[in-house]
Chain A
Amino acid sequence: MKLSIKDLLIFTLLTVTMELALIWALQIAPPDRMQGDVQRIFYFHLGSIWPGFLAFFYVMYGSARYLAGRDLHWDRKSLASGEIGLVFCTIVLTTGPIWAKPTWGVWWSWDARLTSTVVLWLIFLGYINLRHYIDDESKRPRISAILGIVGACVVPFVYMSTRLFETQHPKPVIMGDEDSGIKDPNMTIALVLAMAAFTLLYICLWRIAVTQFQARDRLDKLKTRLSLLEDEY
């Protein structure tokens, strides 16, 4: 795969930001007064749910663009975003219990935020897998696009769950109430760096996935042409 200058620039920026995020989150930012060092996982936990939500919203945007223009590129872009969003959602569902065990004393609690995140994960697992069960290739992108849009509608409910219901999950740090959020400037820098690093990782992975899907489409077209030529001669 030939990398463009844009790809190299994003990759370099990603490497630098990821290194800085690691240094700030694990070394420079002070440990939490109540939770100690275990709180440091929060930088990666929140850092990965943000691009996860972004990815699912992109699925909605890309699916709407596909339905409006029937351009297959938008289907591939949405699928790539959905797959990567699912990976980030899996990271959130893994780092959450690792933090919960020493803090709450249990790996899992059925509160609104945790349940709604699992539901979101299941919805997009369904979105990724549904297309494998559609035999008619002409229907595949259209049906997936509709499910992608419906699935992304659940994202605001997941985000709002800690505001709407009494939950065990900590209250929102970004755009939260006055008493929520982090006060130490180094903690803020660590969080911003982690969020930037995971967003760049999302962009990087998404570009690679879209290129792969496009290459596979070109290969399929070439295979079809080759088989037609073989039939002719």
Chain B
Amino acid sequence: MSPVVSVFSAMLHKDLRRELRSREIFISSFLFSIILLTVIYFASTSSGVKYELMGAGALWLCITFSGTIGLNRTHQSEMVNNCYRGLILSPADGGWLYLAKVCSNWLLLSAMEVLLLPLIALFFHVDLLQSPGWLALSLLLGTGGFVAVGTLVVVITANTRMKDVLFPVVQLPLVVPALIAGVNSTEVALRGQSPWNWIQFLLALNVVFLSVGFLLYEFLLEE
């Protein structure tokens, strides 16, 4: 196995194993999402909006907020016991470390979405089986765009004084294109139609941000 592949898989295994053992990010993000869904339901019904139409928006709000909390927490755990120095000293190029981090965050957030979907169907009376393929692709690519930017920005803001506050402030404007495309694509898929235009846009976003992250992550690992 080449050093790049072994470092990539070691990073991915490490992140996933840590989360599977502690489950601290996953459980807190999931509980937070349930609270959010409740708030969205009451906010929409009290303002006269049909809550059946809020399914895609509610799902993406949960992904945004719990994803932001999760990304921040994942990076903070690297700072404990100077683990981050270990990352810097690893023999692989920074870009591969970035891709491993993106993959682990992507998998964790996707797992949470799998658990959230039945709740969305239950609370917002949405039929998930209208076009499941498009729905899965919308969520996969939307989450990819969100995670590709977030994984890079969390390290950028980690170097600042007010990292917990600055992370969402800097990250959210950058992920707005992915969020708009994700919400619209999911909404179209839930209606049983093809969101091909939005999927193309999401694909372009993923390619751009993953490439930029791959090229720039190396510079963030300097001390």
Interface residues of A (CB under 8 A from B): 67, 112, 115-116, 119, 122-123, 126, 130, 133-136, 139, 142-143, 145-147, 149-151, 153-154, 157, 164
Contact = CB atoms under 8 A, between A and B. Distances in A.
In this complex, the interface size class of chain B, counting residues with CB under 8 Å from chain A, is 20 to 34
A164 B173 contact: no
Interface string B152-170: 1100110111100010011
Nearest to B170: A126
Interface stretch (B44-52, B109-117, B129-137, B208-216): B208-216
Interface in B10-50: none
Interface of B: 149, 152-153, 156-157, 159-162, 166, 169-170, 173-174, 176-177, 180, 197, 201, 205, 208-209, 212, 216, 219-220, 222
Contacts of B180: 112, 115
Given A115-B176, A133-B162, A146-B156, A153 B170 contact: no
Nearest to A126: B170
A121 to B, nearest CB: 8
Contacts of A147: 153, 156, 170
Contacts of A164: 197, 201
A122 B174 CA distance: 9
Nearest to A140: B159
A128 to B, nearest CB: 11
A116 B177 contact: yes
Given A146-B216, A150-B212, A164-B201, A119 B161 contact: no
